[in-house]
Amino acid sequence: MTANLKDHDHLISEEEYLKGELTSEIKHEYIDGYVYAMSGASKNHNRIAGNIFLEFGNHLKKTPCEPFTSDMKVKVGSKYFYPDVTVVCDDKTQAEYYTESPTILVEVLSKSTRRRDEKLKRMIYQTIPTLQEYVLIEQDFVDVEVCRRAEGWVSNHYFLGEEVTFESIGLTVPVEEIYARVENEDVRTYFEEKAALTKEKTD
C-alpha cells in the first residue's frame, strides 16, 4: 500500500496521530509530525502478504515469536509505519497498537510504493536494533529480496524454483508458495512450463 498523500500541512503530535488512527476509516503513516493516507491494496498484494503471514503463523506456533498483519504499526523514533507483515519475537513495547521491536519486516512492492520501500523505509527500518531481516516482494513480477543484518544488509534475491530461508526464525519457504494464486506473467509462465515438463515425463 502507498502512503504518498499528505493529509495535513501542519504538524500534529504523536498522541493526536495515535488517537486519530483508532477511529479513522483509512490507515495513515506518520513521519515527523506529518500524516500520510494509505491507499488500498490489490488482490495480488493481499495474496502475497497473506501467503507470507500464513507461512510465518504456521511455523511460529508455540514459539515466542508472533506474526502480525498490516494493521500493526511499527514505531521508529518519531515515525510510524504499517508494514505488510511483521514478526515480533521479544516485544518490549508497552503498547497495544504498535511495536518498536520487530524481528522481520515484510513489504509487498508496487509501482507506487517501490521507491519509498526500497529507499526511505529501508534506511529507517535498518536503524531498528532488533530487526534481523527486511523483506521486499514484488507483486507485478517475481522477485523476493531479503536483506539480513548478519550479512550487512546485502540484498539477496530469490526467484521461482528456489527457496527462501528466513534465518532469524529458522523457516525455509519455496518461492512458489509465496506467489501462490498470484496472477502475473512470471507466475503464469513458470507453472505452464512446469506443467509441460510433468506431461513430458508421464507421456
- Of 104, 19, 95, 17, nearest to 60 by C-alpha is 104
Q: Which position has the grid cell 507421456? A: 203
- Dump pLDDT digits (tens) for 125-145: 999 999 999 999 999 999 999
* Structure confidence at residue 201 as a pLDDT band (50, 70, 90): confident
Q: Taking the model in full, what pTM does it have? A: 0.91
Three-class DSSP category at 61: coil
Q: What gap in Å lies between CA 72 and CA 99, rounded to an integer?
A: 8
In this structure, the number of other CB atoms found within 10 A of the CB of residue 147 comes to 20
* Structure confidence at residue 54 as a pLDDT band (50, 70, 90): very high
- Dump pLDDT digits (tens) for 3-31: 444 445 679 999 999 999 999 999 999 99
**What cell does 169 get?**
526464525
The domains located in the chain, with CATH, are 41-202 (3.90.1570.10)
59: CB partners within 8 A, 6+ apart: 169, 170, 171
Q: What gap in Å lies between CA 181 and CA 130, rounded to an integer?
A: 32
| Residue 160 backbone class (left: φ over 0; alpha: ψ -120 to 50; beta: rest) | beta
